[in-house]
Amino acid sequence: MNGENKIKFDYAQIGGVKLHYAAAGDGERLVILLHGFPEFWYSWRHQLVALSDEYTVIAPDMRGYNLSDKPINIADYDINKLVDDITGLINYFRRENAAIVGHDWGAAVAWAIAQNHPEYVWKLAALQVPPISVWRKNQSFKQFLASWYMFFLQIPKLPEWLMTRSNFAMLENALKNTTAEKDVFKPEDIERYKESWSEPFALTAMINYYRANVFTRLFSKSESQEKIRVPTLFIYGEKDHAILPETVKGVGEAVDAPFEQFHIPDAGHWVQQEASETVTEILRDFLAE
């Protein structure tokens, strides 16, 4: 991978969980990149290197993924614990705050950090996933059908069994066959992903994000409606089959702070890899403002 020699790897003990992370750069400001399902730090490989000329950039394997610890209980993946991991990571690097950039589940965690602990966030960038309040407001039957996998993943054991079949063919197809353009994920990229999925208990831990949070967040009335009060950026690849364009309408209404939104017409769900240079430049401009 181009530039991977600039990336260093280490572990951080955050409470009872040890998180593996990739790091690049030694700038004064801290930027944390949070991946989603079914990925790991590697989904940010392009931005991790590109932004390291100005910032200290950290891309952790979220708990349950790749080389990070994998607690065994579903409740261990409640979003509040995921939030605590990242605020703990900021403390670990002895910073008062960080720019939090999240994609997919990483975006859900990023929104929750900004909403509940704004003092830890100097800027927020979310990719593909809107705040939960916007998702709920826009929830449609069409989106419900597009989100079928969220409900399938609630079934015990069966999803894990199916995902391991034929050398992780289901997950491989989920990456390769849902991009707007072909050949975004090279064979060597897929091999990296398969290594991460092969880690003991990794598949169950990854799926536990859905088991711990989907019903409580999508259908609970207890979720905070507090607006985001930090400078915020939202990036959306318009050819996303999982999160539909109508589901991300009105993201700015959830933000009471400077807000920017960029739609990328020729990218899908894996936007920071499908349109890596565009996403990097948008992030660079946003972080510099």
Residue 69 falls in the annotated catalytic set: no
Residue 35 falls in the annotated catalytic set: no
Helix pair angle (202-218, 158-176), 10° resolution? 90
Residue 76 falls in the annotated catalytic set: no
CA atoms within a 13 Å half-sphere pointing along the CA-CB vector of 269? 21
DSSP state of 184: S
Phi-psi region of 8 (alpha: psi -120 to 50; beta: other; left: phi over 0): beta
Kind of pairing between the strands at 56-60 and 98-103? unpaired
Pairwise CA distance, residues 158 & 135, whole Å:
27
Judge whether 24 and 8 are in contact, CB under 8 Å. Answer: yes
Structure tokens at 141: 């039957």
The one catalytic residue among 35, 210, 236, 240 = 210
Give Cβ neighbours of residue 214 (< 8 Å, ≥ 6 apart).
150, 151, 153, 154
The one catalytic residue among 69, 84, 104, 240 = 104
Residue 287's CB: how many other CB atoms inside 10 A? 19
Q: How far apart are the first and last CA of the chain?
A: 30
| 228: β partners | 255
Pairwise CA distance, residues 248 & 236, whole Å:
8
Catalytic residues: 104, 210, 269
